[in-house]
Structure 1
Amino acid sequence: MTGALALTVFVVAFFFIATEKVNKVKVVLVAAGLMAVLGLIPGAQVFFSEHEGIDWNVIFLLFGMMIIVGIIKQTGVFDFLAIWAAKKSQGRPYRLMVMLMAITAIASPFLDNVTTIMLVAPVTVMVCDRLHIPAQPYLIAEVLASNIGGAATLIGDPPNIIIGSRAGLTFNDFLAHMAPVVVIVFLVFLLLTRVLFRKSFVYNPDRVAEVMALQERRAITDPRLLVRCLVVLGLVVIGFGLHAVVHVEPSIVALVGAGVMMLVARADTGETLREVEWPTLVFFMGLFVMVAGLVNTGVIATAGEWVISAVGDNYFGAATSLLFGSAVLGAFFDNIPYVATVAPIVEGLVAQAPDPATGQAIWWAFALGADFGGNGTAVAASANVVALGIAARSGHRISFWEFTRYGLIVTALTSVLAWVYVWLRYFL
C-alpha cells in the first residue's frame, strides 16, 4: 500500500516536471512534503543518508561551482571568447558555428551546462544580430554541444554527479572512460551540423565589417581578477583530478575553491550568493526526498529485483538496454530526475556483476544514455530550457518542435556511437 502511494506521488510529480505545467521547484517541494506527511520517507534519516535521502555531496559540489563561475563571469572572459570566435570566423556562418560549439563543448566539462549556456548564449545572439543571421541554429547547436561535452567529466552534467556519487566513481574515472567517446561523438557532430543547419548558413559580407570592428579585449573588465580566478579554477580542477589520491570529496574541493575565489576576488558576499542558482539546488534536494520515498517503501528494490531477474547473466544486453532506454526516457523526461530514480536500480544490477569491470561498464552505458538523451527534446535537460528562454527574450524564439527535430536526430546518432564504443571497449 505504501509503495503504491509513494509511486503515485512520484509519477504525478514527474508528469508535472516533464510537462512543465507547474514550476518544477514548486512540484518537488509539494511532492517531498507529501512524502514526509504520509510517512513515506525514512524520518530524519532523509537528511543524513546519501542512499536514502539528500545527497549533500551533489548539492555542495553544485553550490561551490556556482560561486566560482559567478565570480569568473564578472571578468568578462566569456564575452571575450565569443567575440574572438566571431572575428576568427571572419563572419563565415558555419565556421562561426564550429567555433562557438567548440568553446561551449570545451567549457561544459568543467562548468555545468546551464551556466555555460547562460554565459555563451547572450553573446551568440549579439553576434548573430550584428551579422543579420538567425540565432536559432547557433543556440540549438550550442545546447547540443554543451550536453555532449558535459558528458566527459564528473561535474560536466548533473546526471554524472548523481551517478558518480552513487557508484563511487571519481573525476579521473570519468575522464578515462567518458572523455574518449565524447571527443569522437563531438567530431562527428561537427560534421553533422553542416548538414542539419545547411539552409541557415547565409553569408552577409556587408555585416562582417561590423563584427571585425569589435574589440574583444575590451570585454575583459578586470584582467588581474581574471588571472587570479583562472589560477584558482585550475587548482580546483587539479583537486578534482587528485580525488583518488588524496581522498577528498569533489564537493569539499569545490567549497574550498569557492571560498578561496571569494577571498582573492574580494567579492561581496551578498552579490556572490545572488549568483547561485538557488532554485536548482532546492529542486535537487526535493528530488532526492522524492526518490527516498521510493527507496524506503521498497518500490526501487522491487523494480531492481525484476530487472536483475530479467537480465540474468546477459550483461551486454543490460548495458544495451540501459543505454538506449536511458536515451529514450531521458529525451522525453528531464534526465536529472530520471537518473536519480534509476540509479538505485542500476546499483543493484551492478552488485550482481561477475567482476568490477563489468559493473563499471553498466554504469558507463547508463551515463552515456542519460547524458546524450538530454539532447532529445526541448525539455530533456535544464540547459535546453534555459536556452529557449534566452532565445525568446531576445526575439529569436525557438519552438519545442524546432529544437526537438534536431535533438532527436543527434540523440539517435550519438546513442548508436556510444553503444558501439561500449561494445568495443568493454564486451568485445
Structure 2
Amino acid sequence: MSTVVAVVVFVVAYVFIATEKIPKMVAALAGAGVVLAFGVVGSEDAFFSHETGVDWDVVFLLLGMMIIVGVLRKTGVFEFTAIWAAKRAKGSPLRVLVLLVLITATASAFLDNVTTVLLMAPVTLLVCDRLDVKPAPFLIAEVFASNIGGAGTLIGDPPNIIIGSRAGLSFNDFLVNMGPIVLLEVIVFALVLPRLFRDSFTADPARVADIMKLNEREAIRDPRLLLTSGVVLAAVFTAFVGHSLVHIEPSVVALLGAGVLVLVSRAKPKDYLAAVEWETLLFFAGLFIMIGALVKTGVIGDLAKLAADATGGNALLAVMLILGVSTLLSGVIDNIPYVATMSPLVLALTQDIPDPTHSEALWWSLALGADFGGNMTAIGASANVVVLGIAARAGSPISFWEFTKKGVIVTLITVLVAAPYLWLRYFVFSAG
C-alpha cells in the first residue's frame, strides 16, 4: 500500500509541476503532505534521515549563497560584469551567450553548480536587459553549462561527491577520467548553441551602441563593500575547493560566509532577505520528501537493481545500461537521491567484473548519466529549479516544457558523445 501511495503521489505531483496548473511549490508541498499523512514516511524519515529526508545541506547552501548574492547586489558588481561581458562580445547576443556559457561551465567545475548559477543569473538578467533580449534562452543555456561543467570534478556536482566517497575515487581520479569528456562536451554544446536558440540573437543596434559607450567601472557603487565581499567570497570558495582537507560541509561554509558578510556590511534584512528564493527552498523540501518516500518504499532501489541484473556480467553492456538508465531516471527525479541509491548496487556489480579498468568504467557511466541526465527536465537537477525560481521573480518565467524541450535535446547530444568515449577509453584503447 505504501509503495502505491508513494508512486501515485509522485506521479500526480509531477503532472501538476509539468503542466503548471498550480504553482510547483504547492504541488510539491501537497505531495509531501499526503505521503506524511498516509504514514509512508514519518517525521524522522522526512526531517532527520540522510537517505529519505530533506537534504538540509542543499537547502542551507542555497540560503547562504542567496544571502551572499543579496549583499553583493548592493555593490554594483553584477552591473559591472554585465557591461564588461557585453562590450567584450561587441554587443552580439550570440557571442555574449557563448562567453557566459564558457564562464559558467568553467566555474561549475570548481564550485557546485547551484552556487555558480546563483552568481551568474543576476549578471545574465542585466546583460539581457541592456541588450533588450529575452533572458530565458540565456538562463537555460547557463543551467545546461553548469550541469555539464560540474561533471568534470569531484566537487562540481553533488552526485560526484557521493560516487567518490562510495568508490574511493579522488579529486584527481575525476579530473583525469571526467575532465576530457566534459571539455569535449562543453565544446560540442557551444557549437550547437546557435541552432538550439536560433531565434534569440537579435539585438537593437541602438542598444548595442549605447552599451559600447558605457564605462563599466562607473557601475561600482560601493568599492569598500565590494572588496569586503571579495575577501569573504574568496574564503568561501577556498573552503568549497578544500572540502576534503577542512572537512566543513559547503552548507556550513555558505552560512558562515553569509553571516560574516551581513555582519561586516551592516546590511538591513530587507536588502539581503529580498534575494532569498523562499518558494524555491520550500519546493525543494517538498520534492525531497516525496522522493524520500520512493526511496524508503524501495521503488528507486528496485528500478536500479533491475537495470543491474539485466547486464548478465557483460561489462560493456553494464556500462551502457547504467549510462542510459541513469540519464533517464536522473531527468525525472533529482540526481542526488538516485545516485545515493544506485551507488551500492554499482559497487556490488564492480565486484563481479575482474578487469579493474572495466569495473571502474561503471562508476564513470553512473556519474555521466546522472550529471548529464539532470539537464533533461526542469526538476532533474537543483540548479534547474533555482534558475527557474530566479527567472520567475525577475518577471521572465520559464515554463517546465520550455526548459524540457531544450533539455531533452541537450541530454541526448551529451549522452551520444559520452557513450563512445566510455567504449573507446575503457574497452578499446585499454585492451592489453
Aligned to 1:256: 256
Q: Report the equivalent of 1:82.
A: 82
Q: 1:288 to 1:208 in 2, by over 3 A?
A: closer
- One-letter identity of the residue aligned with 1:186: V
Partner of 2:350: 353
Q: Do the aligned partners of residues 399 and 288 (structure 1) sit closer, same or farther apart at CA in structure 2, a change above 3 Å counting?
A: closer
Residue 308 of structure 2: aligned partner = 308
Q: Give the 5 Å matches for 1:143-182.
A: 143-152=143-152, 178-182=178-182
Q: Provide structure 2 residue ranges, at least 5 long, that are not aligned to the other structure.
A: none
2:424, 2:230 → 1: CA distance? Answer: 38
Distance across 2 between alignment mates of 1:43 and 1:203? 52
Which residue of the other structure, out of 97, 118, 131, is the alignment partner of 1:115?
A: 118
Q: Distance in 2 between matches of 1:311 and 1:318?
A: 5
Asked if the contact 2:25–2:283 (Cα under 8 Å) also holds between the matched residues in 1, the reply is yes
Asked whether the equivalents of residues 107 and 116 of structure 1 are also in contact (C-alpha less than 8 Å), the reply is no
1:217 CA displacement = 1.3
Deviations 1:89-136 (CA, angstroms, capped at 9, x unpaired): 22345433322333343444536265245313322322322xxx6766
How far apart are 1:41 and its partner, in Å? Answer: 1.2
The CA deviation at 1:212 is 1.1
- Distance in 2, matches of 1:85 and 1:373, equals 29
1:236 match: secondary structure: helix
User: Is the CA contact (8 Å cut-off) linking 2:304 and 2:342 kept in structure 1?
Assistant: yes
Q: 1:410 to 1:46 in 2, by over 3 A?
A: closer
Q: Relative to structure 2, which stretch is displaced further, 30-39 or 136-145?
A: 136-145
Paired residue type of 1:100 = L
Aligned counterparts of 1:34 and 1:137: Cα–Cα separation in 2: 35
Shift of 1:17: 2.6
1:31 is aligned to 2:20: no
State the Cα deviation string for residues 153-185 of structure 1 (Å, max 9, x = none): 567667667877988988777666545433322
1:158-237 mapped onto 2 (5 Å cutoff):
178-194=178-194, 196=196, 208-237=208-237
Equivalent residues of 1:67, 1:258 under 8 A apart: yes
TM-superposed deviation, 1:35: 1.5
Deviation at 1:211, TM superposition (A): 1.7
Aligned equivalents of 1:46, 1:169: Cα separation in 2: 30
Q: 2:63: which partner in 1? A: 63
In the TM superposition, residue 27 of structure 1 has moved relative to its aligned partner by 1.8
Aligned to 1:291: 291
Counterpart of 1:125, as a letter, is C
Q: TM-score, normalised by structure 1?
A: 0.80
1:365 lines up with 2:368 in the alignment:
no
Per the alignment, in what secondary structure is the counterpart of residue 307 of structure 1?
A: helix
Give 1:83 deviation, angstroms. 0.8
Q: 1:347 to 1:315 in 2, by over 3 A?
A: farther
Greater displacement, 263-272 / 279-288: 263-272
The Cα shift of 1:236 comes to 1.6
CA deviations over 1:36-88 (Å, ceiling 9, x no partner): 22111145243222013233223222222222222223222222112112112
Rounded Cα–Cα distance in structure 2 between residues aligned with 1:318 and 1:375: 23
Normalised by the length of structure 2, the TM-score is 0.80
Q: Quick one: distance in 1 between partners of 2:129 and 2:168?
A: 42
Supply the distance in 2 between the matched residues of 1:377 and 1:295 (Cα, whole angstroms).
Answer: 20
Unaligned runs of at least 5 residues, structure 1: none
SS of the counterpart of 1:311? Answer: coil
Q: Which residue of 2 aligns with 1:128?
A: 131
Select between 147-156 and 222-231 the one with higher mean Cα deviation: 147-156
The count of residues paired between Structure 1 and Structure 2 equals 419
CA contact (8 A) 2:104 2:117 kept: no
- Partner amino acid for 1:118? A
| Percent identical residues | 49
Query: What is the deviation of 1:150?
Result: 4.2
Which residue of 1 is the match for residue 341 of structure 2? Answer: 344
**Could you tell me which amino acid in structure 2 is paired with residue 89 of structure 1?**
A
- Superposed CA RMSD in Å reads 3.8
User: What is the rounded CA distance, in whole Å, between the counterparts of 1:99 and 1:388 in structure 2?
Assistant: 20
Corresponding residue of 1:382? 385
Q: Give 1:412 shift.
A: 2.1
Output the CA distance in 1 between the equivalents of 2:27 and 2:169: 30
Distance 1:206 1:237 in 2: 39
Asked if structure 1 preserves the Cα contact closer than 8 Å seen for 2:154 and 2:171, the reply is yes
What SS does the corresponding residue of 2:350 show, helix, strand or coil? coil
Which secondary structure state, in structure 1, belongs to the residue aligned with residue 310 of structure 2?
Answer: helix
Deviation at 1:198, TM superposition (A): 6.1
Which one-letter code corresponds to 1:350 in the other structure? Answer: L
Please state whether the residue corresponding to 2:39 is helix, strand or coil: coil
1:20 correspondence with 2:20: yes
Aligned 8 A contact 1:85 1:96 in 2 = yes
Contact 2:71 2:271 in 1 (8 A): no
Q: How far 1:374 moved relative to its partner?
A: 4.2
Distance in 1, Cα, partners of 2:85 & 2:31: 45
Moved more, 13-22 or 163-172: 163-172
Instruction: Give the Cα–Cα distance (whole angstroms) in 2 for the partners of residues 202 and 291 of structure 1.
Output: 41
CA distance in structure 2 between the aligned counterparts of 1:198 and 1:144, rounded to whole angstroms: 16
